[in-house]
Amino acid sequence: MKRLRLFLLLAAFGAGLFQLHAATSLWRVSSGETSLYLGGTFHLLRASDFPLPEAFDAAYADSTTVVFETDLGAMQSPQVQQRMLAQCALGGGETLRALLSPEVYAKLEAHCQKAGLALAAMEGFKPALVVITLAVVELQKVGIAEEGVDMHYYNRAQADGKAVRGLETPQEQIDFICSMGEGDEDAFVLHAIRDLEESVQHLPELITAWRRGDLETLEREFVSEMKRDFPRLYRSLLVERNRAWLPKIEALLETAETELVLVGGAHLPGEDGLLAQLQARGYRVEQFDIAAAPAP
């Protein structure tokens, strides 16, 4: 696993190696007498990846509110979907073929054909939407379902009548999605399609690292190479969004309630990650180990 798992990060918008571990990608953040749970997630999983680590269920049961990156229900609505398609459309008669170099376009076309996608039908859209579509199709071929950790707990919260909130609005997420790769389209597309086959091959290892809360592996595979090879994407995908979320997470720590905050796993590790940033602000951050937690 030597290249950035950009392919998996894109599918997040958006494991066979199932093992039980007490510690997982879940942390307890405390300030005095108040606390919340902060969990890193995989947005898309296979049926074999369930049940999820027991610690997530324990944190969910202990929380009155579940906070996601955005309003997941709204993101699935036809109105928001249409808004995203409109915003991700190329304007002024521009086409994908004209935007990309002939070499990169040919490689993208070949991958789309292999996946059973008609690139001609997506000529009027920005590269980000095309690559996301390709990534989702390829993941579905290896049994990845649309329900990952986030949607699993969103559906449970809806059924249980728990309050749900978002760290950013659907429009903010649309703005981010549609702007990915702008100004660096060839490199963005080329890296994504080169990463495709290797990402699928090593998916079980990546999910195992997530299940274990292995920050070193998650940082190496999802953060370090993005920071080096795609500094603008790194800033927009992780740094800027993390900075925007921090005050909202801090506000949650001022309430008497306990919240479960779920964000993509790439937002947690590294010096710009939420865990390090919260520690730097003086909060106590501990990996939640259900085996070591006191009995209720």
Dihedral (CA of 239, 263, 89, 109) sign: positive
Asked whether residue 294 is domain-assigned, the answer is no
Asked whether residue 238 is domain-assigned, the answer is yes
Asked whether residue 1 is domain-assigned, the answer is no
Q: What is the structure's pLDDT at 197?
A: 66
78: domain range? 6-289
| Rounded CA separation 88/260 (Å) | 31
Asked whether residue 146 is domain-assigned, the answer is yes
Asked whether residue 177 is domain-assigned, the answer is yes
Q: What is the structure's pLDDT at 11?
A: 56
Asked whether residue 296 is domain-assigned, the answer is no
**Mean pLDDT of each 10-residue bin along the chain, 296 residues long:** 50 39 85 96 88 96 98 93 95 94 96 93 95 87 81 97 97 92 89 74 86 93 85 90 98 97 96 98 94 55
Contacts of 113 (CB under 8 A, 6+ apart): 119
Q: How many domains does the chain have?
A: 1
For residues 66 and 157, the answer to whether their CB atoms sit within 8 Å is yes
Contacts of 7 (CB under 8 A, 6+ apart): 135, 138, 192, 195, 196, 199, 200
| Verdict on whether the full-model pTM lies above 0.75 | yes
b/e 185-201 (16+ beta carbons within 10 angstroms → b): bbebbbbbbbbbeebbe
Residue found by looking up tokens 């940033």 in the block: 277
**Cβ count near 113 (within 10 Å):** 11
Q: What is the structure's pLDDT at 201?
A: 75
Q: What is the structure's pLDDT at 13?
A: 54
Dihedral (CA of 124, 127, 130, 133) sign: negative
Asked whether residue 38 is domain-assigned, the answer is yes
Q: What is the structure's pLDDT at 192?
A: 84
Q: What is the structure's pLDDT at 140?
A: 84
Q: What is the structure's pLDDT at 146?
A: 59
Asked whether residue 86 is domain-assigned, the answer is yes
